């Protein structure tokens, strides 16, 4: 199905929620999970979609976020171990 992941890691919950709103309104991506327990004020947002959609979402988020992201990545064709680890994170959100 060609699913890719887009990741943005940004300080503050407020900036993270704002970034997710930007990503979902900009491109056809789906929210997968967020990770907030790393300390240091960081939140990681993970979305999925086609490689072009997640790239567009990550770029829009970087450009318009209210805080500077500390890390971003687009993972095309993720290894099955990555899919498992992301799905586990998502299942803990339910």
Judged by the rule CB under 8 A, the positions of this chain that interact with a second copy are 5, 7-9, 11-15, 17-18, 20-21, 24-25, 30-31, 34-44, 46, 66-67, 70-73, 75, 78-82, 84-86, 88, 93
Rounded to a whole number of angstroms, the minimum distance from the CB of residue 81 to a second copy is 4
Between residues 11 and 50, which has the closer beta carbon with respect to a second copy? 11
Report how far apart, in Å, the C-alpha atoms of 81 and of each of 7, 52, 68, 78 are: 16, 22, 29, 8
**Quick one: which of 26, 23, 21 has its CA closest to 7?**
23
Nearer to a second copy, 50 or 74 (CB): 74
């Amino acid at each position: 199905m060609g699913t890719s992941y887009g990741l943005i890691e940004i300080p503050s919950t407020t900036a993270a929620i704002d970034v997710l709103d930007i990503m979902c309104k900009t491109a056809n991506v789906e929210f997968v999970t967020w990770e907030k327990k790393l300390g240091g004020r960081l939140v990681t947002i993970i979305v999925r979609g086609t490689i072009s959609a997640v790239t567009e979402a990550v770029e829009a988020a970087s450009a318009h976020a209210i805080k500077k992201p500390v890390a971003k990545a687009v993972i095309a064709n993720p290894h099955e171990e990555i899919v498992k680890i992301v799905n586990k994170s998502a299942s803990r959100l339910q």
